[in-house]
Amino acid sequence: MSTIGTTERAGNLASRRLPPVAEMAVGSMALVIIGGIYLASHLPKAAPAGPAVALLAVAGVVMLAALGVVSRLRDFAWDVFFRVAGWAGLAYVVIAGMLEYVFVLDHTHGTTLVMLTLMLVVFALDIPLLLAFSVARYQQPS
């Protein structure tokens, strides 16, 4: 197979118009990180929950919207997407579990622990989605 054919196919894959899934995932992740920093900045006392709840809610809605948008893609490398998402998901479940352990070990409790746990869940779903979409978008559709 010639290099020109491969280059043309790669150019076609790169120029495809896909929804802004990566941007949505990064936005959701940024909101969760801001919320986590906000909550952590008040430790060991409890933080006012309003801003953290709002950030988490918006981050969750944006992440669910990104999942919804990616699920509607027709001509997409789903095998690659699920392979990358599976391994990245496994890694981020371990990372989120270690962070949760640190929160519990530091005697974080109540609403603050619940909010941080939910933010970790969004974080552990966001990163694999971002990685899987970013890899699969440049692969031949299955």
Q: Among 7-16, 63-72, 115-124, 127-136, which stretch is predicted with the lowest mean pLDDT?
A: 7-16
Per the structure, how many domains does the chain have? 1
Query: What's the mean pLDDT in 78-88?
Result: 97
pLDDT at 14 over 90: no
Question: Is 142 inside a domain boundary?
Answer: no
CA separation, residue 106 to residues 97, 113, 118, 129 (Å): 14, 10, 17, 30
pLDDT at 28 over 60: yes
Question: Is 1 inside a domain boundary?
Answer: no
Question: Is 81 inside a domain boundary?
Answer: yes
Tokens 């801001």 -> residue? 34
Give the pLDDT band (50/70/90) at residue 17: confident
Question: Is 27 inside a domain boundary?
Answer: yes
Q: What is the pTM of this model?
A: 0.85
Tokens describing residue 55: 């950030």
Q: Which domain holds residue 52?
A: 19-136
Distance in angstroms (rounded) separating the CA atoms of residues 87 and 83: 6
Question: Is 10 inside a domain boundary?
Answer: no
Q: Are 59 and 124 in contact (CB under 8 A)?
A: no
